[in-house]
Amino acid sequence: MLQRLGIRRGESQSATTQFDESYYLASQWQLVWRKFRRHRLAMFSLVVIAFLYSFALFAEFYSINDHQQRHVKYAKAPPHTLYFVDEEGAFHIIPFIYELKQELDMDTLQRNYTEIKSKRYSLKFFVEGKPYRLLGLIDTNIHLVGVDEPAVYFPFGTDELGRDLFSRTMHAARISLSIGFLGVVISFCLGCLIGGISGYFGGTVDLVIQRVIEFIISIPQIPLWMALAAALPPQWSSIQVYFGITIVLATIGWTTLARAVRGKLLELREADFVMAARISNMGDFDIIIKHLLPSFASFLIVVLSLSVPGMILAETALSFLEIGIRPPAVSWGVLLQDAQNIRSLSQSPWLLIPGLFVIVTVLAFNFLGDGLRDAADPYKQ
Amino acid sequence: MKSYVLQRLVYLVFLLWMVSVVTFVVIQLPPGDYLSTYISRLEQAGEDLSDEEVDNLRRQYGLDLPIFLRYFKWIGQVVNGDFGFSFDWQQPVRDIIGERLALTFTIAILSALFTYAVAIPIGIYSATHQYSLGDYVVSIIGFIGLAIPNFMLALMLLYSAWSSYELNLMGLFSPEFVSAPWSLARIGDLLLHLPIPIVVIGTGGTAGLIRVLRGTLLDELNKQYVITARSKGVGEVKLLFKYPVRVALNPIISSLAWLFPSLISGGTITAIVLGLPTAGPMLYRALITQDTFLTATLLMFVTILTVIGTTVSDILLVVVDPRIRMERAAS
């Protein structure tokens, strides 16, 4: 209790000392950044999100193995354990793994894996491997981690076909993370347009649009998403399905954004500073650019960051049900398809690992949004 | 008050009409019509259809009509209680959806009760114990509940029940009870299977409700009337429940409006994963097999149930919160 009081007093002191000259000279965005930095959880989430998106951008670099290659010798292999201490008790600063050997249990017909303690392989960093093109620009063959042949390293184990789950998770980040982003951008455009019209014109137009939005919100989303996603033609290519799913998600997702935009627009229109600007003979265009847009932008960033997780969860759910992204394209939901029943789960629980990435992403975006919401209005103490 | 209820009911009729239009549009979207699916299935089964028979079928299902006439034909049948024929189940749609919809609705209501039973005490606790350890723990659990996809939580619970107790809790009944007549043993079996779906479906909404309740209650607790009452020596418990909690419960009631759609929606995927005999898995199967009439009817009923739920919660809110009535009267 005392400790907490101490911390809080410390905080308030630093807050008052911040009220020096630089505080009054700082621009709005500088103030937002200052306030955001104090929200530790949000800062941490920002780092996590940066990492996750780096997985998506540099998936090939993080991948240890080719994500589509089937290692027949290692089907359904559990994740490798990293060791620091070897059989003789000697400590190694660079972790190592033991090669796995497959044994077929003749009674249950299950594959069991045992570690061959005599075959030790140290991890190597920045190793040369399969050539790829980084960001589609630079030809290279450097991968973050690897082990010497003939061993293969599976940090997350493998699926039924012996494909490296870790590399697949990295590649899946591409679709899962970008679909959330793209879906939000599309619903954002729709939401701004329709919400803007609603808030700007008011009256009957506003009434009709609001009723339509209420109606769409009252429809259970997932059944509708399922129906729309199932309507995508089966002969579509992966790219077409990807955009199809994004549009399906956005057509229903725009409503909350439109509502938020309208509400904020109505609120801002009546704000004192807009009135002040109008009295001082400022033109409409200048008011929009210099006053409305900045106060609106910070608000929009908050709303956007809070709507990304919903999109990601929806994509995961649809792909999990096999009506979203279709293999061979991989998303986290596609990877979770393998974990659909208790039997495969009890044999290989590591198949749920891609789900952890979903959870972490959703949590990070929620915390980031919370932090941004606090920071969006830097003048509020 | 009466006029407001009346107004809502008129609006409800309008909503129901919108539901039918949306449903109709959605079922028209898939490429190829259901008849071609049906015909190809008949051909697979070895039956040969002449062109004349195909034309007859087209006319019977009204596929030769322009789209808006088809809508009127369809809606005319629906109003008369004829929902069409399920190609997949080989039965009239009306005969197979009743029990499923009833179960869907029951599970949604039970999940809502679960949500409230958990969210209200926890919300009050974390507001009155702001920044305490319990508050943080609850917030973290709530956040995680918000972030876990429903189906994953379902899978994890199933897995833990299986690995620690060798219990297979898929479905609503154990295999030996699926088609057994109602008995005490069957009810016991149902009670054993119910908690997982209810917990899974309820969790998502619980986290959101706790946050809402905590926020509103914190606002209320800082208000002047609370301080006044405290200075007059009103006991803490009475002080808390007499006004602030009652005021803070209002958003909870209005939350029914979005809670209900989200329960039905979240219930769909959970039910598919858990293999519950509800509308979700049936809809999923109907979508995969392009069983058009079944899809349309299920989609429509699920939506109608939620729209009615939303209307009821709106009316309830006006009944409970007199301030809303005042505002309406003033305007």
Q: What is the pLDDT of residues A346-374, one digit of tens each?
A: 778 888 888 889 889 988 888 888 778 77
- Are the C-beta atoms of A330 and A323 separated by less than 8 Å? no
- Mean local confidence (pLDDT), A324-329: 81
Longest dimension (CA), chain A: 88
- Mean local confidence (pLDDT), B166-192: 75
Q: How far does chain A reach from its first CA to its final CA, in angstroms?
A: 23
Q: What percent of chain B has pLDDT over 90?
A: 0
What is residue A1's predicted lDDT score, i.e. its pLDDT? 37
Query: Which residue would you say has higher pLDDT here, B325 or B69?
Result: B69
Residue A377 predicted with pLDDT over 70: no
Among the residue ranges A7-16, B35-44, B85-94, the one predicted with the least confidence is: A7-16
Q: Is A207 on the interface with B (CB under 8 A)?
A: no
Burial tier of B5 (Cβ tally within 10 Å: 0-12, 13-18, 19+) = middle
Residue B44 predicted with pLDDT over 80: no
Query: Model confidence at B61, in pLDDT bands (50, 70, 90)?
Result: low
Tell me yes or no: is domain B103-330 CATH 1.10.3720.10: yes
Backbone angles phi, psi at A130, to 5 degrees: -65, 130
- Within 294-313 of B, beta carbons closer than 8 Å to A belong to 295, 298-299, 302-303, 306-307, 310
CA A357 to chain centre: 8
Residues B82-110: tens digit of each pLDDT = 877 777 777 888 888 888 888 888 888 88
Nearest-angstrom CA–CA distance, B263 and B119:
15
Among the residue ranges B117-121, B124-128, B189-193, the one predicted with the least confidence is: B189-193
- Mean local confidence (pLDDT), A240-250: 86
Handedness of CA A273, A278, A284, A290 (dihedral sign): negative
Residue A264 predicted with pLDDT over 80: no
Domains and CATH numbers, chain A: 80-153 (no CATH), 169-376 (1.10.3720.10)
Residue B31 predicted with pLDDT over 70: no
Q: Give this complex's ipTM.
A: 0.77
Q: Is B278 on the interface with A (CB under 8 A)?
A: no
Query: Model confidence at B271, in pLDDT bands (50, 70, 90)?
Result: confident
Q: Which residues on A lie below 8 Å from B170 (Cβ)?
A: 342
Residue B327 predicted with pLDDT over 70: no
What is the residue-averaged pLDDT of chain A?
78
Residue A4 predicted with pLDDT over 60: no
- Verify whether the Cβ–Cβ distance A346 to B148 is below 8 Å: no
Nearest-angstrom CA–CA distance, A346 and A113:
15
What is residue A285's predicted lDDT score, i.e. its pLDDT? 75
What is residue B129's predicted lDDT score, i.e. its pLDDT? 82
Among the residue ranges A20-29, B50-59, B273-282, the one predicted with the least confidence is: A20-29
- Mean local confidence (pLDDT), A322-341: 83
Residue A187 predicted with pLDDT over 60: yes
Query: Which residue would you say has higher pLDDT here, A200 or B227?
Result: B227
- Verify whether the Cβ–Cβ distance B152 to A224 is below 8 Å: no
What is residue A5's predicted lDDT score, i.e. its pLDDT? 40
- Verify whether the Cβ–Cβ distance B15 to A218 is below 8 Å: yes
Q: How many residues does chain A have?
A: 381
Residue A246 predicted with pLDDT over 80: yes
Structure tokens belonging to residue A126: 């920045």
Helix (H) or strand (E) holding A151: none
Query: Model confidence at B33, in pLDDT bands (50, 70, 90)?
Result: low
- Within 151-180 of B, beta carbons closer than 8 Å to A belong to 151-152, 155-156, 158-159, 162-163, 168, 170
Residues A80-134: tens digit of each pLDDT = 777 777 777 777 777 777 777 777 777 767 777 777 777 777 777 787 777 777 7
Residue B247 predicted with pLDDT over 50: yes
Query: Which residue would you say has higher pLDDT here, A146 or A319?
Result: A319
Structure tokens belonging to residue A83: 């060791």
Domain ranges (residues) in chain B: 31-82, 103-330
What is residue A381's predicted lDDT score, i.e. its pLDDT? 47
- Mean local confidence (pLDDT), B235-239: 83
What is residue A12's predicted lDDT score, i.e. its pLDDT? 45
Measured between CA atoms, how close is A240 to chain B, in angstroms? 15
Query: Which residue would you say has higher pLDDT here, A288 or A46?
Result: A46
User: What's the Cα-to-Cα distance from A69 to each of A152, A210, A341, B163, B318, rounded to whole Å?
Assistant: 12, 51, 24, 32, 61
- Are the C-beta atoms of B291 and B26 separated by less than 8 Å? no
**CB-side neighbour CA atoms (13 Å) of B155:** 28
Nearest-angstrom CA–CA distance, B125 and B210:
10
- Verify whether the Cβ–Cβ distance A316 to B149 is below 8 Å: yes
Query: Which residue would you say has higher pLDDT here, A358 or B288?
Result: A358
What is residue A233's predicted lDDT score, i.e. its pLDDT? 79
- Which residue of B lies nearest to A41 if distances are taken between CA atoms? B140
For the stretch B170-175, contacts whose Cβ atoms lie closer than 8 Å and that sit 24 or more positions apart, written own/partner, are B170/A342, B170/B274, B170/B275, B171/B274, B171/B275, B171/B276, B171/B277, B172/B103, B172/B197, B172/B276, B172/B277
- Verify whether the Cβ–Cβ distance A346 to B163 is below 8 Å: yes
Structure tokens belonging to residue A91: 């400590």
What is residue A11's predicted lDDT score, i.e. its pLDDT? 44
Q: What percent of chain B has pLDDT over 70?
A: 87
